[in-house]
Chains A and B, each alone.
Chain A
Amino acid sequence: MKKNIPVVSKHQPLHATFAGYLIGFLLSIYLTISAYLVVVYDTFSRNTVIAIVITLALTQFVVQAIFFLHVGKESKPRWNLIMFSFMVLVAAIIIIGSIWIMANLDYRHGVSPEELNNTIIKDEGYKP
């Protein structure tokens, strides 16, 4: 009986549907298992594995943002989407920035200035 009533709430607009949740759930399981198998079967080089796992994680992030959190399904003005995009930007700056700066610090740490110069010249392929 109740199944035939469309999900239009009198409380607030709901963007969720059963089909949406099911698609999101199945895609997430598929992406999780794929990432797991890539690591367990260990056929690729370490860097390739890292690239694949991160790509699968970002894909699953987008899938769950759309199908579970309903990002972008609201009507204009899309404040939720704007907040979400800004969060992604700040998170990316914090994470990529920290890794970049600390890796650079690590690269320059513990050698004399002359050695460092030589290392940089060698790594950059620079011929004086």
Chain B
Amino acid sequence: MSDTTTTHAATLSHRQEEDTKSTFGFWIYLMTDAILFASLFATYAVLRNNTNGGPGGQELFSLPFVLVETLLLLTSSFTVGLALLAVHRHDKQKALILLGITFALGAAFIAMELTEFAHLIQEGHSWRQSAFLSAFFTLVGTHGLHILVGLMWLSVMIVKVVREGLNRANVRKLTLLAMFWHFLDVVWIFIFSIVYLIGAA
């Protein structure tokens, strides 16, 4: 009896260690991704005034529009956190609802961003117009690409949770996905503040 308990405890702590390792590995990936974004921010900061005679941020950005985008992404970061709490409580239904809300908010965010990009390009202000716009599209586009990957991952996880339930592998993956999503919101704070707010100030 006591023997099986010890073995069980040993397996559990071994599994915990494995999960902690995968969380840490993913954390290292996020930190290197942050350095990628840092170099894109540096590029943007250096090139922000090189508009090549074209318009700068003040003429191009619509702040109320971007504020709505920001609040959508911020709320999705909150709901993915709540979803993680439900996941760790093994409350499958609540977890699915919250993951669904997160997906909807993320999709609304990326739809707004693509609308903004399409609008800029239609007006002739694509990345080809100036160094400022090249840096802008690279920085904001890279973030948008991450959001798109996050949405794909999220939809896969929703299907997996529906089909397999909250098993150990799915809980681990959802923990990493939540970290990824929070991280993307952290990067967006700086895009909102430095690119949009200061660009329009």
Residues of A within 8 A of B (CB): 2, 5, 7, 9-14, 16-18, 21-22, 24-25, 28-29, 32-33, 35-36, 39-40, 42, 46, 49-50, 53-54, 56-57, 60-61, 64-65, 68-69, 79-80, 83-84, 86-87, 90-91, 94-95, 97-99, 102
> Taking A90-B38, A94-B42, A99-B42 as contacts, is the C-beta distance between A39 and B200 under 8 angstroms?
yes
Q: Which of B78-116 contact A (CB under 8 A)?
A: 78, 81-82, 84-85, 88-89, 91
Q: Are B34 and A87 in contact (CB under 8 A)?
A: yes
Contacts of A95 in B (CB 8 A): 38, 41-42, 45
Query: A-B contact count, CB below 8 Å?
Result: 146
Q: In the docked arrangement, what's the CA distance between A33 and B37, Å? A: 24
Looking at the complex, which one of A29, A61, A87 makes contact with B190 (CB distance below 8 Å)? Answer: A61
Q: Are A39 and B201 in contact (CB under 8 A)?
A: yes
Q: Are A94 and B193 in contact (CB under 8 A)?
A: no
Q: In the docked arrangement, what's the CA distance between A94 and B46, Å? A: 11
Annotate B32-47 by CB proximity to A: 1 below 8 A, 0 otherwise. 1011011101110110
Looking at the complex, which one of A13, A42, A54, A68 makes contact with B77 (CB distance below 8 Å)? Answer: A68
Q: Are A86 and B74 in contact (CB under 8 A)?
A: no
Q: In the docked arrangement, what's the CA distance between A53 and B195, Å? A: 11
Q: In the docked arrangement, what's the CA distance between A97 and B91, Å? A: 48
Q: In the docked arrangement, what's the CA distance between A54 and B197, Å? A: 10
Residues of B within 8 A of A (CB): 12, 15-16, 19-20, 23-24, 27-28, 31-32, 34-35, 37-39, 41-43, 45-46, 63, 67, 70-71, 74-75, 77-78, 81-82, 84-85, 88-89, 91, 168, 171-172, 175, 179, 182-183, 185-186, 189-190, 192-194, 197-198, 200-201
Contacts of B28 in A (CB 8 A): 83
Looking at the complex, which one of B16, B35, B175 makes contact with A87 (CB distance below 8 Å)? Answer: B35
Q: In the docked arrangement, what's the CA distance between A54 and B192, Å? A: 11
Q: Are A90 and B35 in contact (CB under 8 A)?
A: yes
